[in-house]
Amino acid sequence: MARRLAAADPDQAAVVNRLTQERDALARDIGQLQAECERLGEALKSAERDHEDMKETTGVVARRLDTSIEELDRMIGD
C-alpha cells in the first residue's frame, strides 16, 4: 500500500510509513508491557505466599510466647 501511495502521492506514503512505524512501536510496547505484567503477577503471587508463611510463623511464635508467659506466671505465683 505504501508503495502504491508513494507512486501516486509521496506525502501520503510518508504518512503511511509514519503510521506503520508507530503501529510497530506500539506493538513492541504492548509485548513488553504484557511480559512485565506477567513478571509482576508472578512476583505478587510469590509475595502473597511469603506473607501467608510469615503469618503462620508469627502465629506459632505468638502461641509459644503466650505459653512461656503463662508458665513463668505459674512459676512466680501470679
Model pLDDT for residues 26-67, shown as the tens digit of each residue: 999 999 999 999 999 999 999 999 999 999 999 999 999 999
Pull the grid cell for residue 69: 508467659
Residue closest to 24 by CA, chosen among 2, 40, 7, 41: 2
Pull the grid cell for residue 42: 508472578
78 has a pLDDT exceeding 70: no
Residue closest to 3 by CA, chosen among 21, 14, 46: 14
10 has a pLDDT exceeding 80: no
pLDDT (average), residues 7-33: 87
Find out whether 13 and 5 touch, Cβ atoms under 8 Å: yes
How is the chain split into domains, by residue range?
Answer: 2-76
Task: Work out the percent of the chain whose per-residue pLDDT is above 90.
Answer: 72
User: Positive or negative, the Cα torsion across 58, 61, 66, 69?
Assistant: negative
